[in-house]
Structure 1
Amino acid sequence: MGDSGTLALVESPVQLLNVLEWAHVHPPAVPTPRPGAASAAPGPAAPGRQLTVVALAPRDPMTRGQLRRMAELAMDEGIVVRWCEARSGRGSLLRTAAELTPALRSAGRVVLGDPFSRLVQVLLPLTRAREIIVVDDGTATMEFTELLTKGARLVRWHRSGRRPSPADAAFGVFASAARRRLTPGRGRQVELFSSMPATPPSGMALRANRFAWTRARFGPPTISSGTDIVGTSLVETGVVDLERYLTAVGILATSHGATRYFAHRRESVDKLHRLSVETGLEIVRPDLPLELVARRGPIGHTILSFPSTVVHTLPLALEGTGVKIQVCDVDPEWLTDSASPRAQSFLSGITGTARDLHGLASVVSGQATAIAP
């Protein structure tokens, strides 16, 4: 790779989707698409900047599967994809760093999706790139810009307030070095490509992600007469109590006549089984990020969602289709004893900004009824 090449580091299907969105509106030069591959009709690309995506494979089977499918879509667009087993066992982190060092050293531009990732924090100081672009990794983008502005440690919101582990301390030096690389400075440009209501720190450029590639590549979708519920992994991350969550979903399903539940890729099999048995909902495990699944259709005429990235991204992906998206706040009583002190304010911020920016209606899940204003 020459010194004008672009290297993207992704660990999830959503991150790779947003790299494709970024490339669509700021297209580097890419090789000719594979014969027979569908085209997203991207904008004109100036020669000289080839995009290579390094997929740092996660362990979770559902996430791996979706990332594989996204990698196929990226290759259909003519983008080079390297699959890297960065978590395959002892020594894999050092091996990955050694393998990627030449590409990181020569890249003129680096695109990354998760600045909180320890793997990325180890790799980022290896690059000499003068341009760094951060694409969305969901709602974590809002936390990233806030922490960077404060000069604080890059720790995910649901982990804040917990006592640092020995591993946290060991990675502290890498986290500090990564934060410095992500801070705009002399000879280094940093850009945020985002669909989230994030305010970048001084000196960081902001480019809006409107999901133009998704809308050009898929749809418009067939819209059914039903209502769909979008799941969340807040139980799996220890923020929301399982029983409270199951009750809330059941109330929403009954009150709104919902028939399908789109599972988050990190939701546990046992939890989804209980949801199916106790609510009668059809559990759908998407093979691609929900923005693409919804755009392909069929999708319900109404989508109900708890605080999640999709309350900001689906209004963009489904723009002009007539699909209604409603947001349901997390009641403070649903939170676990181990939830971060910041949990309630952060989750409320997600839904509040979605209502303000996209004009979404609210839905309330109580003990007996669910009411949509």
Structure 2
Amino acid sequence: MTRVAWVESPLQLVNAVEYAAATGEPLRICLRANSKQLQYTADVLAPHLPEGVQIAGVWNFAFLSPFIVARERLAGDPYSGQFRLAVALTGVRDLVAVDDGSAMLGFVDQVRENRPLARHGRTESWLARRLGTIAGRRLHHTLTTGGLRAFTAYSRDEELHALAHAGGRVLHNKYRWVRRTKFVKDDGAMQSVILGSALHDDGYVKGSPYRSWVEAQVAAGATVYFPHRREKSKSLKRLKEIKGLKVRKAVLPIEIVLASSRELTAVVTLPSSVVATLRNILPDGVQLTVFPVPEDWLTKSADEALRTTLRRIAKPRGAVARV
């Protein structure tokens, strides 16, 4: 029996391949259509795929793809409308969920507590809520019958411990496949890197202290800035004016770019969902520094839930040593 995956982003694709590489399971991966970056990432990964892993084509809808009839499935984003619809239509007996950022933590709590699937901080349509209710109920049944697994960089967090106690199986994603595979060539200049944050463009952090923080990292030796996907052109234009800093957009997922680097020595970032991945994926010897966000940087839009999350990521409870 071959497991079939439905993925909608480059990171989901990477994590699906990591699962197959870690377990030795055969895997067919269905890609959602209309994502140039996802297709480009698939093309780059294709020559390096582990034995038994294949790209099963590009599909407009999950319910028209091989994913819908598979007995064993893997989901890149359990909150996806495509995934909710597939589960609402057919149920699921055997499911592996992989990370698409820190959303994994909310997902496993909702499934364990038999609550509807709903993205945190989003106002969803009636249809999305209805599908979330049906999918949540069916996934809770999958959990109670031993059919739910989480393959995740968050495996030591309390939400995943609770899932395991409820009957789920939790596997730690060590990113061994990406770490041993070199996908990109270094240009020799990428040694100390700043990972950009969308906190300022999302309205949670004031712009002036954020720019000052970037300037301080450049003064300390950082030379390359990788923007967050939600950073606006206007913000990046200001950062490009900082002497000695190169703003460089990553075509591949930043996790692959950094994991493949032979020159990299240091990565600095504010708290974000990528931190859990980086703690596992960065080459040995690369220093990762996560700067806490000072309270006086935050705007009134930053509620207590966000502040707690930022503090938690800066001082993670679930950090583990790589093996």
Do these two structures clear the TM 0.5 threshold for a shared fold by scoring above it? yes
Taking the aligned partners of 1:345 and 1:152, their CA distance within structure 2 comes to: 22
Which among 326, 340, 351 is matched to residue 314 of structure 2? 351
List aligned pairs for 1:312-327, cutoff 5 A.
Answer: 312-320=276-284, 322-327=285-290
Taking the aligned partners of 1:219 and 1:182, their CA distance within structure 2 comes to: 36
TM-fit CA distance, 1:10: 1.2
Query: Given the superposition, is the C-alpha separation of residues 289 and 225 from structure 1 closer, same or farther in structure 2, using an over 3 Å criterion?
Result: closer
Aligned twin of 1:125: 88
List aligned pairs for 1:197-276, cutoff 5 A.
Answer: 197-198=156-157, 199-200=159-160, 201=163, 202-218=166-182, 226-254=191-219, 256-276=220-240
Aligned twin of 1:182: 139
Taking the aligned partners of 1:238 and 1:119, their CA distance within structure 2 comes to: 30
Which among 102, 107, 111 is matched to residue 139 of structure 1? 102
Which among 258, 268, 275 is matched to residue 311 of structure 1? 275
List aligned pairs for 1:1-373, cutoff 5 A.
Answer: 4-29=1-26, 51-57=27-33, 64-76=35-47, 77=49, 78-85=53-60, 96=61, 99-100=64-65, 103-157=66-120, 159=121, 164=123, 167-183=124-140, 184-185=142-143, 187=145, 189-196=147-154, 197-198=156-157, 199-200=159-160, 201=163, 202-218=166-182, 226-254=191-219, 256-278=220-242, 280-320=244-284, 322-353=285-316, 357=320
Query: Given the superposition, is the C-alpha separation of residues 358 and 186 from structure 1 closer, same or farther in structure 2, using an over 3 Å criterion?
Result: closer
Taking the aligned partners of 1:240 and 1:188, their CA distance within structure 2 comes to: 42
Aligned amino acid, residue 214 of structure 2: V
Deviations 1:55-90 (A, max 9, x none): 2246xxxxx3431222114433251232234xxxxx
TM-fit CA distance, 1:118: 2.8
Deviations 1:6-30 (A, max 9, x none): 221111111110001001012333x
Deviations 1:154-195 (A, max 9, x none): 3444x16xxx4xx43332110111212332345550000001
Q: State the TM-score, normalized to the length of structure 2.
A: 0.84
Aligned amino acid, residue 343 of structure 1: L
Tell me, what secondary structure is at the counterpart of 2:223?
A: strand
Taking the aligned partners of 2:90 and 2:202, their CA distance within structure 1 comes to: 32
TM-fit CA distance, 1:351: 1.7
Taking the aligned partners of 1:296 and 1:209, their CA distance within structure 2 comes to: 17
Contact persistence 1:106–1:128 (CA under 8 A): no
Tell me, what secondary structure is at the counterpart of 1:182?
A: helix
Query: Given the superposition, is the C-alpha separation of residues 106 and 188 from structure 1 closer, same or farther in structure 2, using an over 3 Å criterion?
Result: farther
Contact persistence 1:52–1:82 (CA under 8 A): no
Taking the aligned partners of 2:243 and 2:105, their CA distance within structure 1 comes to: 33
Q: State the TM-score, normalized to the length of structure 1.
A: 0.73
TM-fit CA distance, 1:328: 0.7
TM-fit CA distance, 1:352: 0.9
TM-fit CA distance, 1:205: 0.5
Percent identical among aligned pairs is: 27
Query: Given the superposition, is the C-alpha separation of residues 225 and 10 from structure 1 closer, same or farther in structure 2, using an over 3 Å criterion?
Result: closer
Query: Given the superposition, is the C-alpha separation of residues 251 and 20 from structure 1 closer, same or farther in structure 2, using an over 3 Å criterion?
Result: same
Contact persistence 2:224–2:245 (CA under 8 A): yes
Contact persistence 1:53–1:82 (CA under 8 A): yes
TM-fit CA distance, 1:356: 5.1
Give 5+ residue unaligned stretches, structure 1.
Answer: 30-50, 59-63, 86-95, 360-373
Taking the aligned partners of 2:77 and 2:203, their CA distance within structure 1 comes to: 20
Aligned amino acid, residue 17 of structure 1: V
Contact persistence 1:130–1:189 (CA under 8 A): yes
Give the root-mean-square deviation of aligned CA atoms. Answer: 2.9
